[in-house]
Amino acid sequence: MKNKNALIIIAKYPENGRVKTRLKGHMHDNRILELYTHLLDTTIQKLRSIDSVDTFIAFAPQEAASFFSQYKLGLISLPDGDLGIRMFSAFQNIFNRGYENAVLVGADIPDLTSKIILRALNLLSAHDLVYGPAQDGGYYLVGMSKLIKEVFDEIPWSSKVTLERSIARANEFKYSVDYTETLSDIDTIDDVNRSGLKQN
């Protein structure tokens, strides 16, 4: 551990039919795979070397370690389970290593920058949680200044109320929350069209 802050990029192994499944039927399978791989590579290259931050890739499935090792970053193998189980496991791994603050992001947000990561970490100096709202009602970023489990329980993932329910859980357990700017992730064909990413 070099720094007190950690960034976790959560990622799936690029495999046909396993990534960006909501694009199926709108784009050729090979093109979906190319798009996801492009987003993953771009995100990692943009965020791999942020001052005062150690960057990790939290990946699934577990046997994909050899693929993700090419990026030469810290690796966290994720367990089976829903997104909440996996995100909590990634945070648990990081806090067990002694980090004071941790931010987790997806690999499918084209406008995500290192500046947003640093802002989120700065907000954690005065808050338990920070969220980066996504246009679709979910979130592209979640950060913690201590390990918190409740905000990953009883959440409808990939829905229009994912963030709303997460905040309600935070409020229920009296955790303080702040926010970074709202961005769009890439889940649907409308997202692809708006982003300007070439479809082919």
**pTM for this entry:** 0.94
Residues 87-119: tens digit of each pLDDT: 999 999 999 999 999 999 999 999 999 999 999
Which secondary-structure segment (H or E) carries 55? strand 53-60
Q: Measured between alpha carbons, how far is 8 from 20 in angstroms, rounded to an integer?
A: 20
Helices (H), the chain: 29-47, 65-68, 83-96, 114-123, 162-172, 189-195
* Residues in contact with 122: Cβ distance below 8 Å, sequence separation at least 6, in sequence order: none
Q: Give every residue of the chain whose pLDDT is below 70, as ranges.
A: 1, 198-200
Three-state SS for 103-154 is EEECCCCCCCCHHHHHHHHHHCCCCCEEEEEECCCCEEEEEECCCCCHHHCC
- Ordered by start, the domain boundaries in the chain are 5-194
Q: Please give the class, per CATH, of domain 5-194.
A: alpha beta
Q: Measured between alpha carbons, how far is 1 from 157 in angstroms, rounded to an integer?
A: 31
Sheet of 129-133: strand order equals 74-77, 53-60, 5-12, 101-105, 139-144, 129-133, 177-179
Q: Measured between alpha carbons, how far is 77 from 65 in angstroms, rounded to an integer?
A: 7
pLDDT at 25: 82
pLDDT at 1: 67
CA distances from 70 to 40, 83, 100 (A): 13, 24, 27
